[in-house]
Amino acid sequence: MRSSAATLVLGGAVAAALLAMVGAEAASTVPQTAATAVTVTNPASRPVQGQDIDQPVRNFYQQLAFAPYNCVNNDCYVIFPAVPANTRTVITHVSCDFIVATGTTVFYSDFAIQGTQMVTPLPLIIYPVFSGDTEYGINSEVYSVFTAGQIPQVDIDYFGSSQPADARCTIAGYSVNVNE
């Protein structure tokens, strides 16, 4: 038993010496580097983006347009301001309400980029008749992208002798500044 205890003590001492040597050698081979400052530079033509441009709530867009319209051959347009330069605007919601006199019927409505065939049909809501006139509404989710200079418009088509009156339309979404 004594020889086993002596062997165990001697073996433990050798193991401790080996660990000390490996630890010292490992510490001497680890490169010592100091932290260095990094400077990022961008030219004025390509600035670092400082805002999450894809976050709609940061760039909310809303426009309200009232009558009078531009009506031709039973087709009326509610026209909104053109999208500003260096901007892309995404419209996600269109809402309107307007009145037509007895004997006139609105049969179609859409949301469009003025001067193009890019249209999104808008479902019509007909409210109960209280005073002889009929009130219509539009409340629709859309997804339409407008670039600088393009003009959003709502198109209202009707049959009858009187054009829609007292219209107010709202478009909502978000805008993104683009450096084109």
Distance between CA atoms of 82 and 112, rounded to whole angstroms?
Answer: 12
Domains and CATH numbers, the chain: 56-177 (2.60.120)
Q: How far apart are CA 172 and CA 165, in angstroms?
A: 22
Nearest residue to 111 via CA among 99, 96, 131: 96
- For 29, 101, 166, the CA distances from 132, given in Å and listed in that order, are 94, 7, 15
CA distance 34 to 42: 26
Q: Per-residue confidence of the chain (180 residues) as pLDDT tens digits?
A: 455 544 444 455 555 555 555 555 555 565 667 777 777 777 877 777 665 655 666 788 999 998 666 778 888 889 999 999 999 999 999 999 998 888 888 999 999 999 888 899 999 999 988 778 889 999 999 999 999 999 999 999 999 888 888 889 999 999 988 875
Q: Which two tokens stand for residue 77?
A: 């347009």
Query: d(Cα 137, Cα 123) in Å, to the nearest integer?
Result: 9
**If you write DSSP's letter for every residue of 135-149 in order, what string do you get?**
EEEEEEEEEEEEETT
Asked if 98 and 167 touch (Cβ cutoff 8 Å), the reply is yes
Q: Are 92 and 180 in contact (CB under 8 A)?
A: no
Q: Side-chain half-sphere of 150: how many Cα atoms within 13 Å?
A: 21
